[in-house]
A and B are shown apart, each in its own frame.
Chain A
């Protein structure tokens, strides 16, 4: 069964510092995609970054980057130069094809606090 685990319920970072959010997943698939979503109090899920499993190069989007370790099934998110607006819930998600459907499995989330 595919599962996504976020072992850090809450993380705190000082403004302008760097923080890393952890995510591990379990799968027997070889072709899949991984995502990090941000959910501010407004509830809307905002795509932060995505990674194709077949790509060895780690994805980067401005201050956000991932450390994708396929063999270890690890997909951590690094936020550099943290800003107050980064405070939110962050969800790691794994997407795969099953039968005629594409499913997105989410972790339980990590709440990020940013200290001014």
Chain B
């Protein structure tokens, strides 16, 4: 079956430009997560959606970062006025409803590699 889909796979842009990253979760998955993975590092939590609402935005590093989710499905992560330190792989994950949410494993996409020149 279809997994979590992220686009673009790679994005190279100039410092100061805005970028938009897209995540299409597995159909029926109500929870959606965004993570950032800097080179050689572990994953850093950014934001969590339950349906269309984001009860936890605590991981967003600055007000240049925002995310939205519409129709309980596709999510976009937007980075405004990109900086070189924004260069990383941005991973999206989704998990299904039902049962204790903490027990639901997260299914990850392949990520978007963002490079800021």
Interface residues of A (CB under 8 A from B): 4, 6, 31-33, 35, 37, 42-47, 50, 52, 91, 93, 95-109
Contacts and interface: CB of A to CB of B under 8 A. Distances in A.
Interface residues of B, number: 27
Given A43-B89, A44-B109, A45-B108, A102 B41 contact: no
Given A32-B102, A43-B110, A52-B103, 14 more contacts: A6-B42, A43-B89, A43-B91, A45-B106, A95-B102, A97-B101, A99-B55, A100-B56, A102-B31, A103-B48, A104-B106, A106-B42, A106-B44, A108-B42
Interface string B73-86: 00000000000000
A33 B105 CA distance: 10
A1 to B, nearest CB: 13
B45 A103 contact: yes
B117 interface: no
A8 B34 CA distance: 26
Nearest to A108: B42
Contact of B111 (A6, A44, A97): A44
A37 B106 CA distance: 10
B91 A96 contact: no
B12 interface: no
B105 A50 contact: yes
Contacts, number: 67
15 contacts: A44-B110, A44-B111, A45-B91, A45-B93, A45-B108, A47-B105, A98-B56, A99-B56, A100-B55, A101-B48, A102-B31, A103-B56, A106-B44, A107-B42, A109-B41
Contact of A104 (B45, B50, B55): B45
Nearest to B112: A43
Contacts of B58: 101
Contact of B41 (A37, A43, A47, A108): A108
A37 B107 CA distance: 10
Nearest to B58: A101
A26 to B, nearest CB: 15
